[in-house]
Structure 1
Amino acid sequence: MTKVLDRDLEKDPLSRVEVHLVSREPEIISADAQIASPKNPIFHRLDVPTVGLPFTRELQQLDQLQNLIDKTQDFIPFLYSYRSISRAINSNESLKSVSTDPELQVEMMDLYNNLFKPRLDKILELQIALQDAADTLNLFVERAVKGEFTPSCVFYEKLIEFLDVVFNLDQMKQLKTGLTNDLSFFRRQRNLPPEMQDSTGKAQFFLGTRFFALNKIKETAMVKNCAKEPKYAKFFIDFLDFCCSYHKITILPRKQQAIVISMVTVLFVFETRHLTFKDNLNQVLTIISKCPIVPLYAEMNFKPFEVLKESPTFKVDSVPRGVSMATTNDEIKQFRSQYLIKENMSKFREAFTKSLSKISVVARTGKIDDINIIYQTIQCIATMASAIMNQSAFKFALPASGSDSFYDSRVKNNYTKEDLDVLIELIGDLKTLTGFALKSEQAVMQFIYYHVSSYIQDFLLHQVENTVQSAIKKKEKDVASVLEAIQNIFVNQKEKKEFKYVPPSIHQLDILRSQIHGLTKSTSLFYDKKEKLRPCIKKDTIESFNKFIDETQKFYSVLNFSQVIRDATNLGSLWFRETSLDIENKIQFPVRSSLPFILAEHVLSSSNKPGLHDSVFFPFEIYNDAASLAINVFNSQFLYKEIEAEVSLCVEMISFTFAQAFFKFSRESAAAAELPPECFGQIIPTPIRYSLMVKQSKLQILGSSINFNMVTTQKVNEMLEKELSQLVANLTDFRMIPFVNDIVKVIRTTHQFLFKNGLLLDDFDQIWRSARGAIQPLSPVSSLAASIINALDIGHMTFNTITRRFLPTKELNLQPPSNENWARLYTRLHSQDTKFIGAEHLEALVDLLDEGELSAFVSNCLGRIEEQVQKSIDLYLQVASAIRLLPAKSKDDLVGYYSFISDAYSEVSHPLLGQLYNSLRNVGNLVAIIFMLETELHPVGGNLSLMASVAQIIRDNLLLNKNLFATQEFEYDNVITHRTFPALWSVLEFLLCSPGPVKLSDTLTTASPISVFGDGVIVAAHSLILLAGEKGLYEYDSVVNQTLKLYDVQKISPKGDLKSFCYHASIISQAKDFTEIMIYPFISTLPPL
Structure 2
Amino acid sequence: FTPKCIEMELAPAANPVRYADHTGFPSSFGQEMEATAQIERILEQGQHFVHMLYTFRSVSRAIPMITDANAPNKDDMNRRTYEILRPEVVKIKELMDFQDHVIHIFCSNLQHLVAPEARAKIVPEGLYNALIKVIDLLQKLDNLKDMKSSIQNDFARYKRAIQAIRAELPDGDVLSEEVSQLRMFLSNPQAPKQFIFYTLREQVKRIMGHEDIFEEMLFQCVDLLSMDDEESERYLTPDERYRFVRVIPHIMQLMDGSGSDNEYNVFKNKYKIKNFRQKDVQKVLKRYPFVPLYGDMASDTLVILKRCKNWNPEMEPLWSRVGDRKTAEAYDLRTRWRAVRSDYDHYIAVFANTMNEVNGFHFRKSSDRGAIEYAGRVARTVMTGFRYLMRWTCMIMESSAWKLKHPINDDNLRNKLMELYPPEKVEEMMTALCQQGSEYERVVRYNYAKDELSVMVDMISLVKSLASMMDKAENKFAPLLRLYIHAEVQKLVQGDMLPMLHRADKKRRPVLQAMLQIRTIAADWLNGIENSQDYKNYRRGQSTADINVPARVVGPSSTQLYLLRTMVR
Length-normalised TM-score, structure 1: 0.40
Alignment-derived partner of residue 557 in structure 2? 505
Q: Which amino acid aligns with 1:502?
A: V
Distance 1:214 1:305 in 2: 17
Cα separation, 1, equivalents of 2:475 and 2:10: 16
Aligned partner of 1:57 among 31, 40, 63? 31
> Displacement of 1:183 after TM fit?
0.4
| Aligned match of 1:261 | 246
Give the deviation of 1:165 after TM superposition: 1.6
Deviation at 1:372, TM superposition (A): 2.4
Deviation at 1:117, TM superposition (A): 2.1
8 Å contact kept, 1:48–1:508? no
The partner residue of 1:276 within 267, 270, 277 is 270
Partner of 2:285: 288
Task: Look up the match of 2:194.
Answer: 211
1:70 positional shift: 2.3
Tell me the equivalent position of 1:84.
58
SS of 1:237's partner is helix
Is the aligned partner of 1:223 residue 2:205? yes
Deviation at 1:225, TM superposition (A): 5.1
3-state SS of the aligned residue for 2:94? helix
For residues 120 and 134 of structure 1, the distance between their equivalents in structure 2, rounded to whole angstroms, comes to 21
Change (3 A) 1:426 1:344: same
- SS of equivalent to 1:366: helix
Distance 1:276 1:264, change over 3 A: same
Residues 239, 291 of structure 1: alpha-carbon distance in 2 compared, 3 angstrom cutoff: same
- 1:273 offset after TM fit, Å? 4.6
* Structure 1 runs not aligned, ≥5 long: 1-36, 518-1089
- 2:223 counterpart residue number: 245
Tell me what 2:566 maps to. Answer: 514
AA partner of residue 407 (structure 2):
P
Shift of 1:242: 1.6
Q: Distance in 2 between matches of 1:40 and 1:501?
A: 12
For residue 366 of structure 2, what is the aligned residue in structure 1?
none
User: Cα distance, 1:145 vs. partner?
Assistant: 1.6
1:427 counterpart residue number: 460
- Whole-angstrom CA distance in 2 between matches of 1:129 and 1:82: 17
- Structure 1 Cα separation of the partners of residues 130 and 309 of structure 2: 28
Query: d(CA) in 1 for partners of 2:79 and 2:324?
Result: 49
Aligned residues of 1:84 and 1:182 also touching (Cα < 8 A): yes
SS at 1:503 equivalent: coil
Counterpart check, 1:131 vs 2:93: no
Q: Distance in 1 between matches of 2:355 and 2:76?
A: 62
Residues 428-437 or 151-160, more deviating? 151-160
Q: In 2, Cα distance between the equivalents of 1:198 and 1:377? A: 55
* Bigger Cα displacement from structure 2, 297-306 vs 146-155: 146-155
Q: Give, as a single letter, the amino acid of the residue that structure 2 aligns with 1:196.
A: L
Contact kept? 1:395, 1:414, Cα under 8 Å: yes
The answer as to 2:340 corresponding to 1:348 is: yes
| Residue of structure 2 in register with 1:161 after alignment | 133
Residue in 1 that maps onto 2:364:
none
Tell me the amino acid that sits aligned with residue 467 of structure 2.
T
Partner of 1:372: 380
Cα distance in 2 between the residues matched to 1:394 and 1:333: 13
CA deviations 1:293-339 (Å, max 9, x no partner) are: 111110011211112213323345566x654253xxxx377632121
RMSD value over aligned CA atoms?
2.9
Please list the CA deviations of residues 21-44 of structure 1 after superposition, one character each: whole Å capped at 9, or x if unmatched: xxxxxxxxxxxxxxxx99999572
Whole-angstrom CA distance in 2 between matches of 1:386 and 1:410: 19
Instruction: State the distance in 2 between where 1:274 and 1:61 align.
Output: 33
Alignment of 1:492 with 2:542, yes or no, is no
Counterparts in 2 of 1:458-537, with a 5 A limit? 458-476=491-509, 479-495=511-527, 497=548, 498-517=550-569
By how many angstroms is 1:381 displaced?
1.0
Aligned pairs (5 A) from 1:589-668: none
Mapped partners of 2:302, 2:8: distance in 1: 38
Q: Note the C-alpha offset of 1:483.
A: 3.1
- Specify the code of the residue in structure 1 equivalent to 2:291: V
Q: Tell me which residue corresponds to 1:623.
A: none
Aligned pairs for 1:888-967 (under 5 A) are none
**SS of residue in 1 equivalent to 2:131:** helix
Any stretches of 5+ residues in structure 2 without a counterpart? 1-6, 167-171, 228-232, 257-265, 360-374, 411-432, 529-547
Q: Deviations over 1:878-898 (max 9, x none)?
A: xxxxxxxxxxxxxxxxxxxxx
Shift of 1:418: 1.4
**Preserved contact between residue 329 and residue 335 of structure 2 (Cα < 8 Å):** yes
Distance 1:315 1:461, change over 3 A: farther
Distance (Å, rounded) in 1 between the aligned partners of 2:50 and 2:123:
27
CA separation of 1:427 and 1:197: change in aligned 2, threshold 3 A = same
Does the alignment pair 1:401 with 2:373? no
* Residue of structure 2 equivalent to 1:29: none
2:300 corresponds to which of 297, 300, 303: 303
How many Å apart are 1:475 and its aligned residue?
4.0
- Which one has the largest radius of gyration? 1
Contact 2:214 / 2:255 at 8 angstroms: preserved in 1?
no
The answer for the alignment partner of 1:187 in structure 2 is 159
How far apart in 2 are the matches of 1:185 and 1:308?
35
SS of 1:276's partner is coil
CA distance in 2, matches of 1:354, 1:421: 21
Q: Aligned partners of 2:460, 2:106: CA distance in 1, in Å?
A: 39
Letter in 1 for 2:243: A
Q: Quote the sequence identity (%).
A: 18
Structure 1 match to 2:413: none
1:381 corresponds to which letter in structure 2? L
Measured in 1, the distance between the counterparts of 2:295 and 2:335 equals 23
Tell me the SS of whatever aligns to 2:295: coil
Q: How does 1:965-1044 map to 2 (within 5 A)?
A: none
The 3 A distance-change label for structure 1 pair 38 and 246 is closer
| Corresponding residue number in structure 2 for 1:605 | none
Answer whether contact 1:237 1:275 (CA < 8 A) is retained. no
1:174 and 2:142 correspond? no
Distance 1:466 1:279 in 2: 31
What SS is found at the alignment partner of 1:295?
Answer: strand
Aligned to 1:438: 471
Indicate conservation of the 8 Å contact 2:22/2:30, yes or no. Answer: no
State how far apart, in whole Å, the 2-side matches of 1:242 and 1:155 are: 11
| 1:349 Cα offset (Å) | 0.9
Q: Given that residues 378 and 477 in structure 2 are in contact (C-alpha distance below 8 angstroms), is that contact kept between their aligned partners in structure 1?
A: no
Please report how far the alpha carbon of residue 265 of structure 1 lies from its aligned counterpart in structure 2 after TM superposition.
Answer: 0.7
CA deviation vs aligned residue, 1:895-940 (integer Å, no higher than 9, x gap): xxxxxxxxxxxxxxxxxxxxxxxxxxxxxxxxxxxxxxxxxxxxxx
C-alpha separation in 2, matches of 1:71 and 1:150: 29
Distance 2:392 2:557 in 1: 28
C-alpha distance in 1, partners of 2:184/2:66? 32
State the match for 1:199 in structure 2: 178
**Partners of 2:140 and 2:384 in 1: how far apart?**
29
In the alignment, the residues of structure 1 paired with residue 215 and residue 293 of structure 2 have an alpha-carbon distance, to the nearest angstrom, of 25
Distance across 2 between alignment mates of 1:274 and 1:128: 37
Give me the TM-score of the superposition, normalised by structure 2: 0.74
- Change in 2 beyond 3 A, CA 1:362/1:105: farther
Q: CA deviation at 1:501?
A: 3.4
Local SS of the residue matching 1:174? helix
Matches within 5 A, 1:821-840: none
Provide closer, same or farther for how the CA distance between residues 126 and 39 of structure 1 changes in structure 2, counting only shifts above 3 A.
farther
Which structure's relative contact order is higher, taking Cα pairs within 8 Å and 6+ residues apart? 2
Where in structure 2 are the equivalents of 1:454-853 lying within 5 Å? Answer: 454-476=487-509, 479-495=511-527, 497=548, 498-517=550-569
Shift of residue 514, structure 1, vs aligned partner: 2.2
Shift of 1:263: 0.6
- Check whether the contact 1:269–1:313 (CA below 8 A) recurs between aligned residues: no
CA contact (8 A) 1:268 1:313 kept: no
Shift of 1:396: 1.4
3-state secondary structure, aligned to 1:335: helix
Q: Distance in 2 between matches of 1:225 and 1:384?
A: 42
Partners of 1:109 and 1:238 in 2: CA distance = 54
Q: What whole-Å deviation, never above 9, does each CA across 1:799-849 have from its counterpart, x for those lacking one?
A: xxxxxxxxxxxxxxxxxxxxxxxxxxxxxxxxxxxxxxxxxxxxxxxxxxx
